[in-house]
Amino acid sequence: MTEELKPLRTWSHLVGQRRRPSEYEIVSVGLLWHARGETVPFEVEGASFMNDWVMRYRDNSAITHDDWDSFRDPDELVYRTYNILQDGQESYVDGLLDQYDNEGHDESLSGAWLDVLEALYTPGRYLVHTSQMASAYLVHMAPASTICNCAAFQTADALRWVSRIAYRTASLAKAHPDRSFGESERATWENAPAWQGYRELMERALVAYDWAEAFVALNLVAVPAISEGYYRAMALSARRNDDTLLALMAEAALRDGDRARRWSQALVGHMLDVESNRAQLQEWVDAWAPYGTSAIEAFAGELPDVPDRAAAGSEALRRAHSSAGLATSDG
Amino acid sequence: MALLERSEWYDIARRTEWTPGYVSDDELYPEGHSGDYDIPGEAWSTYDEPYKISYREYVDIQRQKDAGAYSVKAALERMDLRSKVDPGWISTLKLHYGAVSVVEYNAGLMESRFVRWARSPGMRNMGTFGMLDEIRHAQLQLFFPHEYVPTDRQFDWAHSGMKSNNWGIIAGRHFFDDMMMTRDAVSTSILLNFAFETGFTNLQFIGLSSDAANAGDFSFSKLIQSIQSDEARHAQIGTPMLAMMIENGEKERAQRLVDVAFWRSWKLFTILTGIPMDYYIPLDKREGSFKEFMQEWIVTQFVNSLEDLGLAKPWYWDIFLADIDEHHHGQQLGTWSWRPTLWFSPAAGVGPDERDWLEEKYPGWNDTFGKCWDAIIENLKRGDIGRTVPGTLPIICNMSNIPIRRTTRWSTTGGSTTSARSPIAGSSSRTRSATPPTKRSLIACSPARSSPPTSAVCCSTWASACSATAVATPTTTSGCPPTSRVPTRRRRTDRWQHSHSR
């Protein structure tokens, strides 16, 4: 029998920390058994596909760090605080929908603006769903559970807005049964020029298999591009076309995007702990930013009454890279 | 409020499939992730999850559930659990948390694979909720045991265990690497969501919840009840996929997946649930026997769900039914004997009253397993502790990674031994005979390799090594169904490391 060891005040891996660990640290840090530095992630013969995939695109990523587990979400969200936060946010959106429904909002929209909604708003569920899928890739490919968690909440945020767009699509279809709300979105997503920038960006981001490149493509380019084009430019155009409901909903979505920006910047900062990562990150930003810029310009250029938003969106994307500690791309 | 009903917009939210134009379909959905099942493209959109929920409903309901679970924890926080409940229950908690908490987190990663790689948009959305659920379960089951760490080092295993090379952890990790982490999204939804979650997690979460309340651990009881309410939802992810496979000519592969997952799950749960239920939990707190829970939740309910889908019972069903009476008793003998290797202090649970209960629930227990315990007890009474701790290592099943035990009733003929029922690996036959004349079975039954113990009724690799009077050569019969994958053997020498927490 071996000697009985003394109890610890917290998990053994947090004992060296001087202060008392927070709930966030207790439940979030160091949870990937397959990222513990063994020769292969998964100890199963016959799992060569998954082992090869994870070794190639996670463990042998060009972006390296000795201690991925030391990354911390700046918002320190845990599951229960995420639900408290988002339940409140959803109550706000419910309140908007109820209020504007009582005011006969959908019936009051102009024909010209309904054309815009058909062409540029309701097909957006396809766009946001692709970001849901791409975020989920980061969940199972990131090298630390604290990164996985951020990506998981981002995945759920995307489903939130897929759901709300679907809701509004059904509302508009009910108010305007003569239009094609709920029917034409897929064809519009696949064919309309306004969407092809976003579609190309997202399809390519979905097959960026290196986890760190996928993060750059999604969180440093696609998510900001969606925020600046689909939500921010749309909100402004909606307000100028008497669709305050859409403006307020889009701005609510931007709050989720702000959280994505915060953890993305923090992760870039973590990556830049290793100076040799900078060149690779910059190379990827330079490669992906043009897709983001093209997407914003193609989309926002079609929105009415916001002539400056395409340029402003692209500038915002460059600022996002700058504030993350990377050089701005000329995109 | 004048809001739309969920049903008015739900289908729109799961119509998100599109044809890629800038990358190929193979790049977007590689076979290794998305599966190579022969299901036509349009069929994927017919996936219809039986348990529907919206994001808005989800965050509301889950916030309330968490409020309930955490408030019970807060209310009971000052209760000194260790002084209030039986040590056997404490061991149950340590076993549970060490084997479950971090696994739950990685189940969230599994669900996220559905979100990225499943071809059915409805499954991608349900996977999103499943991912959140599993993160919840991990965080709850890390936060709750963390409270006990300052009083008992063994609770550290709730966090650190799954990264260790302890033998029990390796077995669990191999199971989950195989069933949960490394197969394509379609197969995984059958293996984990359907076979594992709709079948076996009920045992752990419903069975142990009642026992926890009886034992006075209301915090744990509330915790796992709350978790089970999520499982009931996301466990449904695999069922429509299974139905889709059957409708599209993939019934044989679906059956094979169920067969593999069921056997692997069964072996794991004999230790995780079977031992605590029948040995650790104080006698007067037991809700029922492991066998009774198995018969209710698995033999009856799971089989009903299989048959509803048009699938058959696994080909080894008769072997499994016999195993319910026996297997975990052998594992209890073994885990107790190799107690220095565990991260918890196992209760023997074989006092006179407990033996009466075991005999009632498992007729014949006293004449079989009881005799092994008699030998152990005699050694303990003589103060010969050394003879109760084996100096040899057990033989590990190359697939299940748990010690091989042989507690079937042996018939002895001419010095050779044969097992009346022994599942043999390596064949997909669904009409297997009881004693197939395969090379493996000949080896297992060879008198040169296996001598019956003196009791002639109970021999297990576990039990024989700790017997004071009989030391049987281990047999090598493994309970492997076909197609399961064996572990990579890189750290074999580490697997018997002693738990540092004792």
* Structure confidence at residue B484 as a pLDDT band (50, 70, 90): low
pLDDT at B428: 32
Task: Decide if A79 and B136 are in contact by the 8 Å CB cutoff.
Answer: yes
Alpha-carbon distance values, B82 to B79, B215, B349 (Å): 9, 12, 18
Best B181, B191, B398 residue to mutate vs chain A (most A CBs within 10 Å):
B181
What is residue A183's DSSP assignment? T
Best A39, A91, A133, A154 residue to mutate vs chain B (most B CBs within 10 Å):
A133
**Percent share of chain A, pLDDT over 70:** 98
Report pLDDT digits (tens) over B313-367. 999 999 999 999 999 999 999 999 999 999 999 999 999 999 999 999 999 999 9
Task: Decide if A86 and B59 are in contact by the 8 Å CB cutoff.
Answer: yes
Domains of chain B: 46-315 (1.10.620.20), 327-496 (no CATH)
Residues of chain A found within 8 Å of residue B389, distances taken between Cβ atoms: 1
Chain A residue with minimum CA distance to B399: A44
pLDDT at B391: 86
Report pLDDT digits (tens) over B33-51. 999 998 998 899 899 998 9
Average pLDDT score over residue span A55-82:
97
Task: Decide if B106 and A34 are in contact by the 8 Å CB cutoff.
Answer: yes
Question: Which pair of structure tokens corresponds to residue B207?
Answer: 């069975």
Q: How many CB atoms lie within 10 A of CB A323?
A: 12
Burial class (CB in 10 A: 0-12, 13-18, 19+), B280: buried
Work out the minimum CA distance from A188 to partner chain B, whole angstroms. 11
Residues of chain B found within 8 Å of residue A180, distances taken between Cβ atoms: none
Residues of chain A found within 8 Å of residue B12, distances taken between Cβ atoms: 125, 166, 169-170, 182
Chain B residue with minimum CA distance to A30: B159
Question: Which pair of structure tokens corresponds to residue B195?
Answer: 């076979």
Residues of chain A found within 8 Å of residue B15, distances taken between Cβ atoms: 185-186
Does A136 lie at the interface with B, CB-CB under 8 angstroms? yes
Average pLDDT score over residue span B150-175:
94
pLDDT at B465: 38
Does B108 lie at the interface with A, CB-CB under 8 angstroms? yes
What is residue B39's DSSP assignment? -
Residues of chain B found within 8 Å of residue A48, distances taken between Cβ atoms: none
CB pairs under 8 A between A and B: 258
* Structure confidence at residue B444 as a pLDDT band (50, 70, 90): very low
Q: How many CB atoms lie within 10 A of CB A315?
A: 15
Work out the minimum CA distance from B106 to partner chain A, whole angstroms. 7
Average pLDDT score over residue span B89-105:
95
pLDDT at B480: 45
Question: Which pair of structure tokens corresponds to residue B58?
Answer: 């989800």
Average pLDDT score over residue span B44-68:
95
Mean pLDDT taken over chain B: 82
Mean pLDDT taken over chain A: 95
Work out the minimum CA distance from B87 to partner chain A, whole angstroms. 16
pLDDT at B407: 58
Report pLDDT digits (tens) over B123-162. 999 999 999 999 999 999 999 999 999 999 999 999 999 9
Radius of gyration of chain B (CA): 23
Work out the minimum CA distance from B394 to partner chain A, whole angstroms. 18
* Structure confidence at residue B441 as a pLDDT band (50, 70, 90): very low
Strands (E), B368-499: 410-413, 416-419
Name the nearest CA neighbour of B502 among B335, B336, B275, B339: B339
Does B106 lie at the interface with A, CB-CB under 8 angstroms? yes
Structural element, H or E, at residue B56: helix B55-76
Does A273 lie at the interface with B, CB-CB under 8 angstroms? no
Best A10, A40, A53, A155 residue to mutate vs chain B (most B CBs within 10 Å):
A155
CATH superfamily assigned to domain A78-323? Ribonucleotide Reductase, subunit A (1.10.620.20)
- Helix ranges (DSSP H) in chain A: 23-28, 48-54, 79-102, 105-108, 111-116, 124-141, 145-175, 185-191, 193-206, 211-215, 223-225, 234-239, 244-271, 277-300, 309-323
| Nearest by CB: B135 against A97, A126, A149 | A149
The yes-or-no verdict on residue B498 having pLDDT over 70 is no
Angle between helices B121-146 and B87-117 (to 10 degrees): 150
- pTM recorded for the entire structure: 0.90
Task: Decide if B56 and A90 are in contact by the 8 Å CB cutoff.
Answer: yes
| Nearest by CB: B181 against A42, A45, A156 | A42
Is residue B152 within 8 A of residue B126, CB to CB? The reply is no
* Structure confidence at residue B447 as a pLDDT band (50, 70, 90): very low
Coil/strand/helix, residue A213: helix
Least confident of A306-320, B169-183, B348-362, B442-456: B442-456
- Would you tell me which residues 153-192 of chain A have a C-beta closer than 8 angstroms to some C-beta of chain B? 155-156, 159-160, 162-163, 165-167, 169-171, 174, 182, 185-186, 189-190
Chain B residue with minimum CA distance to A188: B18
Is residue B133 within 8 A of residue B230, CB to CB? The reply is yes
Chain A residue with minimum CA distance to B18: A186
CB half-sphere exposure, B385, CA atoms < 13 A? 4
> CB pairs under 8 A, 24+ apart, for B435-441?
B440/B476, B440/B477, B440/B478, B441/B477
Q: What does the domain layout of chain A look like in residue ranges?
A: 78-323
The yes-or-no verdict on residue A201 having pLDDT over 90 is yes
| Nearest by CB: B502 against A1, A12, A83 | A1
pLDDT at B483: 46
Chain A residue with minimum CA distance to B27: A207
Q: How many CB atoms lie within 10 A of CB B176?
A: 26
Burial class (CB in 10 A: 0-12, 13-18, 19+), B443: middle
* Structure confidence at residue A329 as a pLDDT band (50, 70, 90): low
Residues of chain B found within 8 Å of residue A204, distances taken between Cβ atoms: 22-23
- Would you tell me which residues 408-437 of chain B have a C-beta closer than 8 angstroms to some C-beta of chain A? none
Work out the minimum CA distance from A125 to partner chain B, whole angstroms. 7
The yes-or-no verdict on residue A331 having pLDDT over 70 is no
